Amino acid sequence: MPSWFIAGQGIDLASAYPDAGSKAADFAYLYFVEHYMPVGMVGLLIAAMFAATMSSMDSGLNRNSGIFVKNFYEPILRPNASEKELVTVSKLTSTAFGIAIILVALFINSLKGLSLFDTMMYVGALLSFPMTIPAFCGFFIKKTPDWAAWGTLIVGAIVSVIVGLIITPDMIENAFALENKLTSREWADLKVAIGLIGHIVLTGGFFVMSTLFYTPLTQDRQRNVDTFFDNLATPLVSEGEAQKKLDNKQRKMLGTLIASVGIAIMAMFALPNPFWGRMTFVLCGVIVLAVGLLLVKAVDDNHAAKTA
């Protein structure tokens, strides 16, 4: 909505942010908050951006670290590793992944000709999408060799490299005998489409073709596979006392913290703003406070009294 509003107002973001170059369109949200929202909203926006990034980043790092440790380090490198060693390796792996992500982010930021929107589209089409293909297909196509998933990822990486680095606009123009040159916007969209089609046909096709090399698994391996799918089909419901105690503790702690943040946001009412600006902070604070109070209210008082 802010980007649409700024475009509708006919504001020249390139003139407002001359140092941004071709990435000036990415500053639409910042311009909107700076010029159309009350004083102090920029800080609240930055805090929300950091919170949103951290909430997904920490879970992503833990997930990737767990995949590496439990699916590669422990079964292949150190089958007899202790739990303490696995935790230590997980921490080191999370740190390494975090540093790699920071370096990639700095590299993307240095590309003056690549906008944030195009970057997200490329990441989704050339990195995230090929990784989801073996995970998705594996739920429906079970009779594949154990190397099918890793092989599919390698094929997906090759397809992404070809689409991202080798295929050029000139190749497409010559292949389809186009009379006019592709614009940068057309090529950006077309590259995403080529990547998606390539992964569906080649990467997905490789996973399907791997069924031709399927051989019956050993009893131990088949038992592990059956256990995996049984676990997926089993609802995770715990009615134990320990779980209820943990749920109550999390609800109370998180609800209290969120309610405190809501009160702090409402306190920004004191900033020098017109009446509508002050009420904006009050409205934001009330919404956050209500969420916190609902979490606190969700605490099972009867169970808490029993365990007290």
Task: Give the model confidence (pLDDT) of 202-228 as tens digits.
Answer: 999 999 999 999 988 888 888 988 898
Residue 294 half-sphere exposure, CB side, CA atoms within 13 Å?
7
What's the rounded Cα separation, in Å, for the pair 269 and 285? 10
Residue 22 half-sphere exposure, CB side, CA atoms within 13 Å?
13
Radius of gyration of the chain (CA): 26
Task: Give me the pLDDT at residue 18, please.
Answer: 84
Task: Give the model confidence (pLDDT) of 118-129 as tens digits.
Answer: 777 888 888 889
Residue 304 scores a pLDDT above 60: no
Residue 106 scores a pLDDT above 90: no
What's the rounded Cα separation, in Å, for the pair 206 and 191? 21
Tokens for 133, please give them.
């293909």
- Boundaries of every domain in the chain: 115-231, 241-307
Average pLDDT estimate for 21-29: 78
Residue 90 half-sphere exposure, CB side, CA atoms within 13 Å?
21
Tokens for 90, please give them.
């997980």
Other beta carbons within 10 Å of 139: 9
